Amino acid sequence: MAKLNILKEGDETLRKICRPVDKITLRTKILLDDMVETMRKADGVGLAAPQVGILRRIVVIEVEEGQVLELINPVIVEASGEVSGVEGCLSVPGRQGIVKRPSYVRVQALDRHGVMQTYEGTDLLARCFCHELDHLDGHLYIDKADKMIYPDADGEYYEDEE
């Protein structure tokens, strides 16, 4: 497995809409494995294919260690509630924002074997579903943030004055 390069804010690839995966191949499975390795090495909890330059509807999420969700052609089929929380992104290093997201989300997606799965999440998992699926449509969390916050040298946060 190879560690992939994570694209940063400003790269036009992050603003493009991804195409569905028509057929799950060995290449798709290798990409899933490489995305998980890349996400873990970057200390992330989610990674979408466009973040590594691949314009396909593929996402990996690992909110709980060892419980990786591999989502191919994911779709949010239900969302409810609303909660504001701190959000960051591997493609937007050094900044975080306060973003409103649903408190509950249900997603349907193919797994690496082409079997349709349904996943439900609350709290951080619900936030990750929304955040990563936004990437597939060219959206970054900074587009939805109510305000941005930045860490200082002591690990404390201060607000954006814009």
Residue type, 126: A
Domain that holds residue 87: 12-159
**Residue-level pLDDT at 94:** 87
Q: What is the pLDDT of residue 151?
A: 73
> pLDDT tens, 61-105?
999 999 999 999 999 999 999 999 999 999 999 899 999 999 999
pLDDT at 114: 97
On the 0-12 / 13-18 / 19+ scale of CB atoms within 10 A, 115 is: exposed
Q: Which residues are catalytic?
A: 132
pLDDT of 3 reads: 86
Q: Is residue 3 part of a domain?
A: no
Q: Strands across the sheet with 92-101, in order?
A: 83-89, 92-101, 147-151, 157-159
Supply angle C-alpha 71, 76, 81, rounded to 5.
130
Answer yes or no: is 111 within a domain: yes
Is 17 part of a structural domain of the chain? yes
Of the CA atoms within 13 Å of residue 40, those in its CB half-sphere come to 15
Has this prediction a pTM greater than 0.85? yes
Evaluate whether residue 5 is within a structural domain.
no
pLDDT digits (tens, 9 = 90+) for 115-128: 999 999 999 999 99
Question: Would you say residue 7 lies in a domain?
Answer: no
Number of domains within the chain: 1
> Is 4 a domain residue?
no
User: What is the pLDDT, as a whole number, of residue 153?
Assistant: 67
List the CATH number of the domain containing 103.
3.90.45.10
User: Which tens digit of pLDDT belongs to each residue from 36-62?
Assistant: 999 999 999 999 999 999 999 999 999
Reduced to 3 states (helix: H, G, I; strand: E, B; else coil), residue 39 is helix
Residue 6 in any domain: the answer is no
* Residue 117 CB coordination number (10 Å): 15
Write out pLDDT tens, residues 149-162: 877 767 666 665 54
> Taking CA 12 as the corner, what is the angle to CA 10 and CA 14, rounded to the nearest 5 degrees?
85
Buried b (16+ CB within 10 A) or exposed e, 20-43: ebeebeeebeebbbbbbbbbbeee
* Residue 85 domain flag: yes
User: Count of CB atoms within 10 A of residue 102's CB?
Assistant: 19
Share of the chain above pLDDT 90, in %: 88
